[in-house]
Chains A and B, each alone.
Chain A
């Protein structure tokens, strides 16, 4: 195979002895070519354990980007093909979900073994199809893939013990990108199969071969037909897959934009969704760092896989005192960078996946140049043919530049200085993304604090872009939600055992009119019967920032009991009340998140203590408002007390764990708060419903804005006296009363709310999911279905913890001892 590195003028032994040049060092591609020939260089879909080539489909020619050589033709699937694949997976689900965990584990173990046997072939196919260096597929992609199969064979085996209370979801539709074709699909397939789901996979257009090869290998390893189907097609076919009625869960890795489209597409359908999206991950370098090692870390961060990595360290933040030194070192490093054919074993970087991607990268860089940025490119290493882009470093740019804010998805690094650690953290977090990041310093106290403060799903200390099956990978903010890998990743492929897949009826949602409301006007009747003494008028204020607040607009709504009697008035909240409450919730968040768990527990127990004192009063109020019997009302209060204890107990028992990755060192999983959560409570169980939702969120360090039961809001308002007497800091729990959907609209739209929980109707559920696409916030909605709040599984299951935390993994390599 010819190398695409420039031909040397002369290369006799004598010449090379004198010049000590590198020569071509190609990996043989004969086995890979033979595999393509076995298929006549034309692939169908892999459905139900067979190759399916329906008539009349368009084809897509997949190419080797480093040579331009056409490798094979693949199909452009249609609705019919999607139907066939989903039908097959649905059928296979019947048996696979009932297959004993041990048997599923054996299947997955067998696939791991078979992949090992075909390690070289898979590595070569992947390198040829994508353009990435064979060194990387051999050393990184494929070993990670194999590790995932082994690791998840284990989860299959342990599902009954480790995932008690959870069950499979059904048919998973997975859509994956082209940057790590096999690795990223494996991140979906493994947990899905381990938990008893079946899966239909759509690989990316540019890189379909390794998925097809894997399907064949799975079949060779004995995986039953239909458990894992592969269909190829355009992005549009991806949408068809995601919106198929029998797909129960959509798992996506790719761009934020497409993720948002999918979020809207599946809104209100009751499907589960996980999104692993883009990033602009910071590499934070302090003056206390080993700068030479940092340079190599940057090679891993931004020039790994040509920079086409979701977690690429594309924003270099350097302490001003070592800024020039590091920039100079990077320039020097790039002078001996080598680009070339993906199968050449002497290269640092391969080809860009496709001309269109290269063009997009170039547009970003040219844009920066026009702005006056300094663009340093090592162009001398560019081969004469093939789709290559030089490693690039851009300085003299600032936060206002497009290249600093947006994901380029290419080998382009931007460099910005900072003065102090505090400023570094602020700059690192000055992004709509939150996927990864790294911290470089020899000061371990500094490293840990910065790692905690950066809002991202993975932080590497003195390293970057390390992955392992035992540690979940995924984002904060617009980098998505859900995790791939680790125990945390399993939750994306299960649902609580008591719950069946919600299948809400399709509603016509009018985005413009949803939540529109007109406040109440005076009426002639106040419900007081003739001859009765009027009650003392009770008008409850809202509660935020630890104080009672009048509504922004002085409107109020009557609260009416089952007898039609007005038992009080509450404020009619509007968008400004929401705005104010979000502000105070954010102000309270850092302090509350840092509170010692023991202290949070004390506060929650203290609430229970204070409610207990007023047990009868609360029960009477429930009874009066809802018409429930006193006995039922007392039970609601008692379960509430038990529930507060339950979550109080969890204050200091769910902080995270140490992950058993392949790293020599510690990979620390931290269950961080989600942030500021909007919660719309259900109508029934005015006390228990409210407490069941706020308590898990509060114990895990979140702050929140709660819309209490729309019908019976007074119980929640009674609680603020409890909060005040229980030492709950102001701003942690904020209560806004009014029309649930009207307030939900503004909460769900708010871009600084990290998650929205909505327990209400179908229309509102769909709205919340749909509109949350805007800032990719997490959602938890009921689709108009009730749950039994008294039941311990339904009212305080692990699901509540899942929604109250987000997982951050911090990788801390260790080592200083090397000799005596």
Chain B
């Protein structure tokens, strides 16, 4: 695993030199899905890779131990055993990338994974007043510390949109830097909530600011905004990651989240990572897909690959 990003000094001139053209970015994003495609066993292999990058997520008010527990067992066995066997990939030990829950459910998740014999799967927790971030900084930071204490190894924070929208990028930087400190050893994923940033230039700037402040991952959305993980937004963020890498040598991970439901989408996202950043960025240490229902579709595609017919949803173990 690459060296963690320690962050760099806040550099306002870097932020000021950002240019993003929406129509041209959109055109490239639309091309990604039609310039590359994978078929047959290549497709199956890509879908398995996508599974390993999933942050299997439940973020609901009615989450309790029982559904978190079910989620964790599914996280360890994301693809039906018979399919894994038929594809001859048992020794790959395929699991999802992480389990993602609210802070109050972190302890449940940690215990459940242990019970499933899958403590190696990290628990990620959203934090800092997710999804809106409209709570005092003090409590937001405290939330991180508590989640980490409960065993979260990854923290998905939301950035301060009020500061971003009013151009206080130094303010965003300072807050994220404090959050990074609060994370300690836990990996920091910064959610930009791109759907609330107004334009793509802000998306690029927010990406840069978070990386400067020490983010390990940058993430598109909470899944609660009007517009979630579109390829266009993803493209802007990975281009920022590329630029940050070129300037500092640090590799930052990327996590699109929200609205990713089909196996085809997942493969296109992988292709985006491969094309724009290279193969290194297609593995779970630098790429995650935040999703809840995606896994079912992938399993159905794999079922079709193995048996040549489509499975009903109810035949797939739910998470």
Contact = CB atoms under 8 A, between A and B. Distances in A.
A762 B21 CA distance: 55
B107 interface: no
Name the residue among A13, A665, A816 with the largest chain B CB count within 10 angstroms: A13
Task: Kindly list the 6 A-B residue pairs having the minimum CB-CB distance in the complex, ordered from nearest.
Answer: A16-B45, A23-B42, A293-B24, A813-B23, A290-B21, A819-B195
B194 A819 contact: yes
B25 interface: yes
22 contacts: A13-B44, A13-B89, A14-B92, A16-B46, A17-B89, A23-B42, A290-B20, A290-B25, A296-B24, A296-B27, A296-B31, A336-B275, A345-B34, A346-B38, A463-B27, A813-B23, A815-B23, A818-B199, A819-B225, A820-B195, A820-B196, A820-B225
The contact size tier of chain A is 35 or more
Contact of B35 (A20, A135, A297): A135
A814 B46 CA distance: 35
Given A20-B274, A20-B282, A288 B24 contact: no
B233 A291 contact: no
A464 to B, nearest CB: 10
A815 B24 CA distance: 9
Interface string B250-291: 000000000000000000001000110011001000000000
Contact of A346 (B36, B48, B89): B36
Interface of B: 19-28, 31, 34-42, 44-46, 48-49, 87-89, 91-92, 194-200, 225-227, 230, 232-233, 239, 270, 274-275, 278-279, 282
A17 B48 contact: yes
A819 B226 CA distance: 7
Contacts of A813: 23-24
B259 to A, nearest CB: 13
Contacts of B275: 336
Given A135-B35, A292-B239, A17 B92 contact: yes
A346 B23 contact: no
A17 B48 CA distance: 7
Nearest to A663: B23
A700 B35 CA distance: 45
A442 B25 CA distance: 13
Contacts of A816: 22, 199-200
Contact of A139 (B34, B37, B274): B34
Nearest to B36: A346
Given A20-B274, A336-B275, A818-B22, 13 more contacts: A12-B88, A14-B88, A17-B89, A289-B21, A292-B239, A294-B24, A442-B19, A665-B23, A813-B24, A818-B227, A818-B232, A820-B195, A820-B198
A11 B31 contact: no
B308 to A, nearest CB: 16
Given A13-B89, A291-B19, A442-B19, A336 B198 contact: no
A463 B20 contact: no
Contacts of B35: 135, 346-348
A819 B197 contact: yes
B27 A20 contact: no
Interface in A287-313: 288-294, 296-297, 300
A312 B46 CA distance: 35
Contacts of A347: 35
Contacts of A24: 39
A514 interface: no
Contacts of A289: 19, 21
A635 to B, nearest CB: 57
A17 B47 CA distance: 9
A13 B42 CA distance: 7
A2 interface: no
Nearest to B283: A20
B214 to A, nearest CB: 24
Contacts of A19: 279
B42 A16 contact: yes
Given A290-B19, A336-B275, A20 B49 contact: yes
A664 B41 CA distance: 39
Contacts of B199: 816-818
Contacts of B233: 818
Interface in A92-137: 135
Interface in A243-274: none
Interface of A: 11-17, 19-25, 135, 139, 288-294, 296-297, 300, 336, 345-348, 442, 462-463, 664-665, 813-820
A25 B38 contact: yes
A820 B31 CA distance: 25
B227 A23 contact: no
Contacts of B89: 13-14, 17
Given A290-B19, A291-B19, A815 B42 contact: no
B39 A23 contact: yes
B48 A290 contact: no
Contacts of B21: 289-290, 293, 442, 462
A745 B65 CA distance: 94
Contacts of B239: 292
Given A16-B41, A17-B49, A290 B225 contact: no
A343 to B, nearest CB: 12
B247 to A, nearest CB: 11
A816 B227 CA distance: 14
A182 B226 CA distance: 43
A493 B49 CA distance: 57
Contacts of B279: 19-20
A135 B30 CA distance: 13
A817 B23 CA distance: 10
A347 B89 CA distance: 28
A345 B43 CA distance: 13
Contacts of B36: 22, 346
Given A12-B88, A13-B44, A25-B39, A463 B196 contact: no
A318 to B, nearest CB: 14
A23 B40 CA distance: 9
A665 B31 CA distance: 19
A290 B232 contact: no
Nearest to A813: B23
A21 B41 CA distance: 11
Contact of B23 (A292, A300, A462): A462
B194 A814 contact: no
Contacts of A819: 194-198, 225-227
**Residue of A22, A289, A463, A664 with most partner-chain B CB within 10 A:** A22
A292 B42 CA distance: 29
Nearest to B18: A290
A139 B37 CA distance: 15
B226 to A, nearest CB: 6
Given A14-B89, A16-B46, A23-B38, A293 B25 contact: yes
A463 B30 CA distance: 14
A385 B39 CA distance: 22
Nearest to A442: B19
Contacts of A463: 23-24, 27
Nearest to B197: A819
Nearest to A288: B19
Contacts of A25: 37-39, 42
Contacts of A345: 34, 37
Contacts of B46: 16, 20
Contacts of B40: 23
A336 B27 CA distance: 18
A345 B225 CA distance: 34
Nearest to A332: B242
Contacts of A294: 24
A815 to B, nearest CB: 4
B246 to A, nearest CB: 9
B48 A13 contact: yes
A705 B270 CA distance: 63
A148 to B, nearest CB: 21
A291 B91 CA distance: 44
Contact of A290 (B24, B38, B198): B24
A742 to B, nearest CB: 54
Nearest to A296: B28
